[in-house]
């Protein structure tokens, strides 16, 4: 009978020690995970940065847009515009609309007769594309549009 009690106590002690070690490992893992996630939120790009209301950036994420023209030429176009980095929801909408913005520019320029592209009125083209972009946006407006590159390849 004493042997059974002694074995029960030994087994019980081993169980307590193993459970304690398992709890300690889980606790350390949780603390490490919390530290890693808390640290990554504060410094996503290695710096702590506060965005101010007057932080204006240039949206140029569309890259070069290649537009086939009616006369078998190719128009290479880069479009950029300023936006407020403080307006997070509008910034997100802009990023989600890159494909739409490219399609709008392609549709506009590919519908023009080849002759009108030789003497392109950039201001009227900018205004028309700006109007179409703003019609596509719901959370904000673009105030100015720039063509940073306009090249026609025959």
pLDDT of residue 43: 45
pLDDT of residue 58: 94
What are the domain boundaries of the chain? 1-49, 56-153
| CATH architecture assignment, domain 56-153 | 2-Layer Sandwich (3.30)
Around Cβ 137, how many Cβ atoms within 10 Å?
A: 15
Percentages (nearest 5) of helix, strand, coil residues in the chain: 55, 20, 30
Q: For 27-47, write each residue's pLDDT tens digit.
A: 787 787 777 666 554 444 444
Q: For 76-109, write each residue's pLDDT tens digit.
A: 999 999 999 999 999 999 999 999 999 999 999 9
Asked whether the predicted pLDDT for residue 18 surpasses 70, the reply is yes
Q: What is the rounded average pLDDT of the residues 37-60? A: 65
Asked whether the predicted pLDDT for residue 3 surpasses 70, the reply is no
């Amino acid at each position: 009978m004493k042997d059974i009690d002694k074995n029960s106590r030994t087994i019980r002690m081993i169980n307590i020690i193993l459970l304690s070690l398992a709890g300690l490992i889980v606790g350390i893992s949780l603390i490490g995970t919390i530290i890693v996630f808390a640290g990554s939120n504060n410094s996503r790009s290695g710096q702590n940065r506060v965005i101010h209301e007057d932080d204006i950036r240039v949206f140029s994420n569309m890259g070069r847009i290649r537009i086939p023209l009616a006369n078998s030429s190719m128009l290479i176009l880069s479009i950029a515009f300023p936006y407020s980095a403080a307006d997070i929801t509008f910034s997100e909408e802009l990023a989600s609309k890159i494909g739409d913005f490219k399609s709008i520019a392609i549709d506009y320029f590919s519908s023009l007769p080849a002759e009108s592209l030789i003497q392109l009125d950039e201001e009227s083209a900018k205004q028309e594309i700006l109007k179409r972009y703003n019609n596509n946006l719901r959370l904000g407006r673009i105030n100015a549009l720039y063509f940073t590159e306009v090249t026609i390849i025959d």
